[in-house]
Structure 1
Amino acid sequence: MATLPVTPPIGADLTVCDREPIHIPGAIQPHGLLLVADPATLTVIAGAGALEERLAPDWLGRTLSDLLAQDISALLANTMVGLGSTLTAQPLTTATEQFEVALHRGGDRLLVELEPAERDAPWGRGSVLPWLDAAATTFERAGDLQSLCERAAVAFRALTGFDRVMVYRFLDDDAGRVVAEDAAPDTGTFLHHHFPASDIPRQARALYIRNRTRAIPAIDYTPAPLRPIGFEATDLSDVGLRSVSPIHLRYLHNMGVGASASISIVKDGLLWGLIACHNAAPRRLSPATRSAAAMLASGLARQIRAKEEADTYRERLRLRAAEDSLLPRIATSGSLRKAVDALSNELCQMFRSDGFALVQGPAVACHGIHPGSFDIQELARWVRARGTSDLFATHELAQHVPEAADYSDRASGLLALPLVDDGAVLLWFRAEQVEEVEWAGNPHKAVDLKPGEILSPRASFESWVETVRGRARHWTLEEIEAAHRLRRALHDIHQTQRLRTLNTELQRTLADKDALLQQKDVLMKEVDHRVQNSLQLVSAFLSLQSKAANDPTVRAHLSEAQARLSAVALVHRRLYRDDQIQTVDLARYLEELVGDMKASLGADWAQLIRLDLAPVLMPTDRAINLGLVTTELLINATKYAYGGAAGPIAISLEQHRNRLRLIVADDGRGKTGDGAGFGSRMMTAMMSRLSGTIDHVDNQPGLRVIVTAPIEDRPS
């Protein structure tokens, strides 16, 4: 029988581990058996292991149902076996031993594993469930994550019986650290030791997620290849008997390990860590024990998630409480600089930083442990020059700003918060945290390769201590989230303060405007008073002149002039009474104007003049012109419509969208005169200023005068 080499070929390069196709080793570990069958016919087409001696001399070409002494087709009909899934069949008993039977899908083939059954389980002859329940209860009672991992190491050692069981956690850089360990007396320890990422290649990590348990009963075995030739590339990803990488076997040999097992800790679909088991002598882990270990690891992963979520929740509560305390005081401080001066200590405590600085223009305000002012200004300039307003966080500042290596003892960690509103930058600093990392062997010599030698893993796992400088504590995701919230809150505070300032300025402007309006009102009243006096004086002169005139025609002209003057005086009286001086209600104005004229015309005319006026708001200067036109039309109607006698006159006002229509109608003689008199010329001038028209229509009987004009001035 051919054997596989336990070391890779000469001349392999240093990345062979990451590229090694460990899922198709072409062989299995010899303590079990493997059958490869056609899924359509269930005929065995290949196999591996001592099949002739332990199963049947004529195994090749027989059906699985025949070899395994059970109806495999019925089993497959009731349960679908897909990629990554395992189906357990009934145990197989031969003349010499009993096998556990498991079926997998490997590409387009059906794979059947046969492993020797376990005689004495760690949990006794009963069910495994009570044992698992008791172990899970101890996990639930752990007070924190470290205590949980320590209890897990004890539980898994009791389950597997190995000399040393370690809880191995993956770190952010894919390196690993042993966070808990339970070992037999006189067994070496790897507790707190770090292992480089190269110790577990990428494709191995992927298989650890797909296959939650992996056992190597003895590291010095001779692999059992797949037979006949041509099946070496069969995908054995889901096969627990899959032969181990020769490099990994050499790795275990160099650690002084005789047997090994691993159980994956998968949290939220990601590989959180491993339960790594080592034994000095060969030791087998049965399928039943591996299944129990996988169930226990699932419970452990749930408890790890619960503990981490609890820590995250407590951290978020702490940060929220700090925000609730700081933000109201920042909002009432008046300025960001005053807030920083008063609250620097609280700002440091919020993000657990060693120092803090505010850079606002050329000014720098510092607190705690921090670089010099010039270096802080340079850092702020670098943060702004990144071309993004997003915050920046690092625990290795010198990796981004090489000059920061000069002050790494004061600022190896940086959390920078640029504020767009006023160009300020908030900077939190974390001092260098010198760390002595204890490695299981020198990580920088993970692979030793000399000319003419084959590739092999490092030979020494003696404790090797490395001093790490230039690093600070990591900024947590919760702290970065809190920094984002703080920036949004500072933006809102800035906007609120700006609105408050603008509102104050607006109130001041309004107060100034009110004062100016009051002054204007006083001035307008004074002007109106003087205009009224002047108009009254002129009206008195006209009245005296009219009484003194002997010529009836002159007396009539003077009376008309006095009426026109009354129309102008009425507008000024309304301006004196109203707060709004730019516009006037034309209906009210005409009503008062006609009322004054009724008083002057006498009771006979007053009871015959009817008004139907719709409210029309229009500029005051245009209302004056329309008042003069109305006065003139009413005077003409009283003079000519009824030959000097009293008769009915109707005055109406209508609004049609942006235009008005004023109608003065009588039931008298109709149109008289040629329109060449002073009154007619004055109305023509007024209508020209109003951009309107005046039409004379037969009222049947009498005359109907229609004045149409825009309510507001037309734009020039």
Structure 2
Amino acid sequence: MEKVIGMALTNNFDKEVNPEEWCSKEPIHIPGGIQAHGLLIAIDNQGIVCYVSDNLIEASKVPADAIIGHSVRLLNEFFGKQKDSNFILDLIDLANQNEIFRPVNPYAIRIEHTPYNLIISKSDTHYLLDIEPEYSSLFEDPQNTVGAGLSQMLADRELGTILRNAVIQVRKIIGYDRVMIYKFHPDGHGEVIAEDYELALESWLGLHYPAADIPSQARALYKANPTRLIADVDQPPASLLANIDKPLDLTNSSLRAVSPMHIRYLKNMGVSSSFSVSIVVDDILWGLIACHNYSPRFINYKQRETAKLVGQVLSSCIGMRDQELAQKERIKLQGIIIDVTRSLIDNERIVSLVEQCGSQILKAFRASGFVLFFEGAVYSVGDVPSDDQIEQIAHQFVVMEDQHCLRSYSTELDLEAIKLDSSRFAGLLSCRLTHGIKDCLILFRPERASTVTWAGDPTKLVSMDASGKPFISPRNSFEQWVEECRGQSDDWTEVEVEVFVKIKDELNFAIARKIDELRLLNDKLRDAYAELDSFTYTISHDLKTPLTAIKAYAELIQRKSSEPIILDMADKIKGSASRLNQMVQTVLEYSKVGQRFVNKQRVNMKSLINEIKDHLLISRANDQLQLEVLKTPDLEGDPILLFQVFLNVIENAVKYSHKQALPKVVIDGSSMYQETVYRISDNGVGISDEQQNAIFDLFSRVGDTTEFEGTGVGLATVRKIMNRHGAQISVESNIGAGSTFILRFPNSVGA
């Protein structure tokens, strides 16, 4: 049983529905019907009829159930062909050569001795057969005049003149009452930028129309099917019949029925027939040649194709002119890339780019502010937002990981959450430097206040019919309505974006070059450090032999002589040799730290610290010493090296506090997610600010060196061990108020 197939398009709607949203969701590619001046059949690959327009049933006098589900050859005689002809499938086979569907359109047929055009197109797995009259409302075949028309259209190089010539020539070719060039703006709304019309009509030049007038899905159809004819807005559509439930996609059909909303729109303007040719530039719908007639008008397929040729030539002209302008702009901006490259080569610091080239960048991009957000810091020139707002902009690259560029001429709408001053920072162009981090370049532009003249109030989309029911309509009134536009800047051109990305690439290249230089320097330092360690160890080891000999000779002198002065001198030689031997031993220990492999493991710090405590309490110089151990969280590290660290630091704390009446040393640890921190505090002599900066250097000692024993190597060794563990040591101290050494160890992932 055949059924009407398609989507029910109606003007009635729930009052809670947003009309503009409704417009963009209307399924106009599957209207379930066609314009009634033609007939339609849809067949599958085998030539079986799957869909048919109800007016074909009426014209052929063949019942629907005798056509749907049967071979299209059943209609051969209706098309004026032999009963057994296979001409439709032969045409489809010819169109499918080389695996690319290229139909030979139109194909002439006759229905009851009247000539018709058969136009074949594809719709998913089906073939659409549009059957249109051969007759036309045009008195003269446009093919005879199009050549001369194109010559006159292209008689000037200036685009505005070409567009004005184009509407004049198109109107001569097709004879419509009004012909316009309708250009789409980036937000989807349109503007009449050229027109030619009957003298009795009023001018629409310069009028703007909201995006809802031609919503996004309609623009997609204009791009897919470059010509669109609506022959008579008062003619009811013919429904499609089928024996399946799936709606038929009529995107490529020349007969596709018209949205009731668009019919209402045309009627509101008093238009009876419309015709359009798409202007497509670089695969983007740039605009339309839009034609209106105030009485019904039909143009046959061949004549529409001739008009399409005008659109294609105009598209090429606009594309070539855009390329010329882009090339001029590219050449103009090329200088800034050279300046940036030179600056990055000549300067050690990456951020010097802002100081060196900031002013030139502002001028080249017609910007008011420029920012380099690098390693968490803001470097800027010109008028820029607060550091906090800049960081929020940079954070957008973390939120939108797939974005490498942010581009806006209305930050008030596009970056609403950041709350930028829309008068100063209406436009924004930003490129991130590297994936996964916030570092980025940002340009700002101030607003460019302007007025837009709309063809009626663009916000009034809801009207009432005679019965009081609401219906969606673009407008019932097309009286001019002026709007003051604020919070918008000039849009960023494609060339500006392209050049800004190149500046970002140059910056990334310079950063990579600096990283390579640092890596090479680090390798050289590592080699020199290892060589110095080896040299220190060798010299220290070799010094032990002569020191032993010096000490032995001093002892021999003491045994051989009884002179008090000689014995005293020999004793001083022995003491000096012992102190020097101790220094050599500590230097050897320091050298071994650099050569030793760090064997990291989980270390029981309670056991390690208690062992140190027991050792120090036995050898303490002051019986009143309080050595207090609080929390001892475990660490990841080399047990031997960690023992050396804590022994040195705690031993120092005991040594520099033992002259107090009640010396006290406290060891306390705390563990957080990222690090474990130990604090070792004493109430000793304290360390001056000047000494705090040097105590971790080799042979650096605190306070009176005659009062406290030491070599000045212990804390240098501690810092070296800490560095090898990726850890840090620091001190907080005041003279006479004791010291606190802070040891920070990074926690292992998952620890």
| TM-score normalized by the length of structure 1 | 0.58
Name 1:150's counterpart in structure 2. Answer: 164
Any conservation in 1 of the 2:428–2:444 contact (CA below 8 Å)? yes
Report matched runs for 1:297-446 at 5 Å: 297-333=311-347, 335=349, 339-357=353-371, 367-368=381-382, 370-371=383-384, 375-386=385-396, 388=398, 392-399=406-413, 402=416, 407-416=421-430, 426-446=441-461
Q: Which of 463, 482, 496 is the matching residue for 2:480?
A: 463
Offset at 1:116?
A: 4.4
The residue type equivalent to 2:268 in the other structure is: N
The alignment partner of 1:250 has SS state of helix
Name 2:232's counterpart in structure 1. Answer: 218
- Whether 2:81 is the aligned partner of 1:70: answer yes
Report matched runs for 1:260-275 at 5 Å: 260-267=274-281, 269-275=283-289
Indicate how the Cα distance of structure 1 residues 456 and 492 shifts in structure 2: closer, same or farther if over 3 A, else same.
closer
The residue type equivalent to 2:301 in the other structure is: P
- Whether 2:95 is the aligned partner of 1:88: answer no
The residue type equivalent to 1:433 in the other structure is: R
Indicate how the Cα distance of structure 1 residues 188 and 231 shifts in structure 2: closer, same or farther if over 3 A, else same.
farther
Task: Give unpaired runs (5+ residues) of structure 1.
Answer: 512-522, 524-716
Cα deviation 1:64-86 (Å, max 9, x = unaligned):
33223235523542543678957
The residue type equivalent to 2:469 in the other structure is: E
Offset at 1:502?
A: 9.4
Distance 2:378 2:29 in 1: 59
Distance 1:487 1:440 in 2: 43
Offset at 1:259?
A: 1.6
Distance 2:434 2:9 in 1: 62
Name 2:309's counterpart in structure 1. Answer: 295
Q: Which of 474, 477, 481 is the matching residue for 2:498?
A: 481
Q: Which of 246, 253, 258 is the matching residue for 2:272?
A: 258
Name 1:168's counterpart in structure 2. Answer: 182
Offset at 1:481?
A: 2.9
Between the two proteins, what is the percent identity of the paired residues?
Answer: 28
Indicate how the Cα distance of structure 1 residues 411 and 232 shifts in structure 2: closer, same or farther if over 3 A, else same.
closer
Any conservation in 1 of the 2:108–2:115 contact (CA below 8 Å)? no
The alignment partner of 1:66 has SS state of coil
Cα deviation 1:95-154 (Å, max 9, x = unaligned):
6x5444445567757635131413755456xxx2x7444444556565355444333323
Offset at 1:430?
A: 0.6
Task: Give unpaired runs (5+ residues) of structure 2.
Answer: 67-72, 529-538, 540-751
Name 1:704's counterpart in structure 2. Answer: none
Distance 2:286 2:134 in 1: 31
CA RMSD of aligned residues (A): 5.1
Any conservation in 1 of the 2:273–2:292 contact (CA below 8 Å)? yes
Indicate how the Cα distance of structure 1 residues 294 and 48 shifts in structure 2: closer, same or farther if over 3 A, else same.
farther
The alignment partner of 1:352 has SS state of coil
Q: Which of 274, 280, 286 is the matching residue for 2:300?
A: 286
The alignment partner of 1:437 has SS state of strand
Any conservation in 1 of the 2:432–2:440 contact (CA below 8 Å)? yes
Any conservation in 1 of the 2:405–2:431 contact (CA below 8 Å)? yes
Distance 1:37 1:492 in 2: 58
Q: Which of 444, 461, 469 is the matching residue for 1:453?
A: 469
Distance 1:5 1:499 in 2: 66
Offset at 1:473?
A: 1.8
Distance 1:207 1:319 in 2: 37
- Whether 2:196 is the aligned partner of 1:182: answer yes
The residue type equivalent to 1:440 in the other structure is: A
Q: Which of 124, 133, 136 is the matching residue for 1:115?
A: 133
Indicate how the Cα distance of structure 1 residues 408 and 226 shifts in structure 2: closer, same or farther if over 3 A, else same.
closer
Distance 1:182 1:272 in 2: 20
The residue type equivalent to 1:481 in the other structure is: E
The residue type equivalent to 1:70 in the other structure is: K
Offset at 1:217?
A: 2.5
Distance 1:6 1:381 in 2: 48
Indicate how the Cα distance of structure 1 residues 56 and 428 shifts in structure 2: closer, same or farther if over 3 A, else same.
closer
Distance 2:51 2:526 in 1: 96
The residue type equivalent to 2:133 in the other structure is: E
The residue type equivalent to 1:412 in the other structure is: A
Indicate how the Cα distance of structure 1 residues 224 and 473 shifts in structure 2: closer, same or farther if over 3 A, else same.
same
- Whether 2:500 is the aligned partner of 1:490: answer no
Indicate how the Cα distance of structure 1 residues 223 and 412 shifts in structure 2: closer, same or farther if over 3 A, else same.
closer
Distance 1:405 1:6 in 2: 41
Any conservation in 2 of the 1:34–1:113 contact (CA below 8 Å)? yes
The residue type equivalent to 1:77 in the other structure is: D
The residue type equivalent to 1:73 in the other structure is: N
Indicate how the Cα distance of structure 1 residues 141 and 311 shifts in structure 2: closer, same or farther if over 3 A, else same.
farther
The residue type equivalent to 1:296 in the other structure is: V
Offset at 1:290?
A: 0.9
The alignment partner of 2:318 has SS state of helix
Offset at 1:332?
A: 2.3
Distance 1:89 1:507 in 2: 80
Distance 1:418 1:38 in 2: 51
Distance 1:234 1:505 in 2: 68
The alignment partner of 2:133 has SS state of strand
Offset at 1:431?
A: 0.8
Distance 1:31 1:103 in 2: 17
Offset at 1:324?
A: 1.6
Distance 1:354 1:108 in 2: 56
Distance 1:348 1:223 in 2: 57
Name 1:8's counterpart in structure 2. Answer: 11
Any conservation in 2 of the 1:70–1:90 contact (CA below 8 Å)? no
Choose 1 or 2 for highest CA Rg. Answer: 1
Offset at 1:459?
A: 0.9
The size of the alignment, in residue pairs, is 510
Cα deviation 1:509-556 (Å, max 9, x = unaligned):
999xxxxxxxxxxx9xxxxxxxxxxxxxxxxxxxxxxxxxxxxxxxxx
Name 2:561's counterpart in structure 1. Answer: none
Offset at 1:440?
A: 1.9
Distance 1:431 1:304 in 2: 29
The residue type equivalent to 2:388 in the other structure is: E
Any conservation in 2 of the 1:37–1:43 contact (CA below 8 Å)? yes
Any conservation in 2 of the 1:177–1:195 contact (CA below 8 Å)? yes
Offset at 1:219?
A: 1.9
The alignment partner of 2:286 has SS state of strand
Distance 1:26 1:496 in 2: 63
